[in-house]
Amino acid sequence: MMEEYVFYNGKKLRKGYTTGSCAAAAATAAALCLFKDQHHEEVHIQLPSQEWLKIPIHAIEREADLSRAYVIKDGGDDVDATDGMLIGVEITHSENTGVEIDGGIGIGRVTEPGLSNQVGEAAINPVPRRMIVDSVRKIIGEKQGAKVVVFAPAGEEIAKQTMNRRLGIIGGISILGTSGIVTPMSEEGWKQSISLELEMKWQQGHRKIILCPGNYGEDFAVHVLCLDKEKIVSMSNFVGYVLKEVQRIGFEQVLMVGHLGKLIKVSAGIFSTHSKDADARTEILIANLALLGMPRETLQQIQSCVTTEAAGEIIAQEGYEEVYQMIVEKIKQRSQNLLKYRKPEPTIEVVLFSSKRGYLASTSPLETVMEEWE
């Protein structure tokens, strides 16, 4: 059986199971009910690692020629949007010997090419599909067939909290999981979602990619710079990880568009920009302003600022805006240095802005950036 806990950053954390494991467990219970007339309060499913996982069954329903089973998603200590939601499977007999899988209410449909499922298919990924087929096949044997419909009553609403719409998955959640278990290190799942989006952009033919730390960057890129939204991927705080993924996949050009308060950390070689990992914004700003000769008294004023926006007011009053060009060039250089020992080496350009003052600096003339990336 699977180990139930993992230690991460000194904490003992409980593992959970994926939406794919939930669907496989529900399919197992529903198949046992329809084909064996058995009602189970819990079932065992086999994971891709060949370990076995025990999952409780929330409810089972039986009608003349079909059965339904429900599982409550338990993500362990890795709480995400789908944690605690109900995932169900309906099984009916099939006239052929195959195990046919589709999505019902609350399961998204793929509308964009480049994902593991074809356009029009239910967003049930390959590993969960195999787990469902294997689980059902163990019960019905090789000479019978079954139609399996996975559904999630609250899936359409919960999907609004996920990245599905960015991936072109409309109408509900995805049934995911490569291992069948959730190891409680939330950042890993987030990174995998970003990698998936990058892979999709590549499959769609994009060779240039725009990276933004979040919604502010994306809004500025689209509404101020008038850049192509289809080229934008949110890298969140995982700047180093995403740059390496961009290189691995093979993108030729990268444009990073971000708020000064986020990307200034990259200028000092900090590639995980969450405040829990590093919050050296003021120190980096002061160091660069000192190189430009800003008086000590003014630097002390900068040091007392809580945000880079507040510091920006002092910088403008004292006429030190050239610091932004220094910083943006350092962001580019640090990013290039991160990737210089592997091939291919994408070209990197950077645009910095602030909420109050808008555009601050860029590594290429802004007109050139807007023309090349529109």
Question: Which CA distances in Å does 1 have to 16, 43, 76, 255?
Answer: 13, 13, 16, 46
At 327, list the tokens: 């910083």
In this prediction, residues 61-85 reach a mean pLDDT of 89
User: Any idea which architecture 5-184 has in CATH?
Assistant: 2-Layer Sandwich (3.30)
Decide if pLDDT at 2 tops 70. Answer: no
Rounded CA separation 89/76 (Å): 22
Report d(CA 37, CA 66) in Å as an integer.
11
Quick one: what percent of the chain has pLDDT higher than 70?
94
DSSP 99-138: EEEEE-TTB-EE-STTSSSPTTSBSB-HHHHHHHHHHHHH
Q: Distance between CA 271 and CA 254 in Å, rounded?
A: 16
* Pair 167, 117: CB distance under 8 Å: no
Please give the model's pTM, rounded to 2 decimal places.
0.70
pLDDT per residue over 333-353, tens digit each?
999 999 998 889 999 999 999
d(CA 141, CA 97): 9
Average pLDDT over residues 21-42: 97
The tens digit of pLDDT for each residue in 162-203 reads: 888 888 899 999 999 888 877 665 577 678 778 888 999 999
Lowest mean pLDDT among 127-136, 193-202, 255-264, 284-293: 193-202
Over 90: is that where the pLDDT of 289 sits?
A: yes
| DSSP 8-state secondary structure symbol assigned to residue 330 | H
Q: Is the pLDDT of residue 141 over 80?
A: yes
**pLDDT for res 233:** 93
Q: Any idea what the Cα angle at residue 187 is, between residues 184 and 193, rounded to 5°?
A: 110
Domain ranges in the chain? 5-184, 187-373
> Do 184 and 117 meet the contact criterion of CB atoms below 8 Å apart?
no
Average pLDDT, the chain: 91
Q: Kindly give, in sequence order, each residue whose CB lies less than 8 Å from that of residue 129, ignoring residues fewer than 6 positions away.
A: 101
**Whether residue 21 has pLDDT greater than 90:** yes
Residue 118 CB coordination number (10 Å): 8
Q: Which of these, 17, 20, 42, lies nearest to 29 by C-alpha position?
A: 42
CB-side neighbour CA atoms (13 Å) of 302: 26
Count of positions (residues) in the chain: 374
* pLDDT for res 10: 56
Buried b (16+ CB within 10 A) or exposed e, 7-45: eeeeeebebbbbbbbbbbbbbbbbbbbbbeeeebeebeb
Checking if the pLDDT of 13 tops 70, the result is no
Mean of pLDDT values over 201-208 = 93
pLDDT at 180: 84
Dihedral sign, Cα of residue 357, residue 358, residue 361, residue 365? negative
Q: What is the pLDDT of residues 240-249, one digit of tens each?
A: 999 999 999 9
Identify whether the C-beta of residue 327 lies closer than 8 Å to the C-beta of residue 256: no
Q: Is the pLDDT of residue 6 over 80?
A: no
Model pLDDT for residues 77-134, shown as the tens digit of each residue: 766 789 899 999 999 999 999 999 999 999 999 998 778 889 999 999 999 999 999 9
Amino acid occupying residue 161: Q
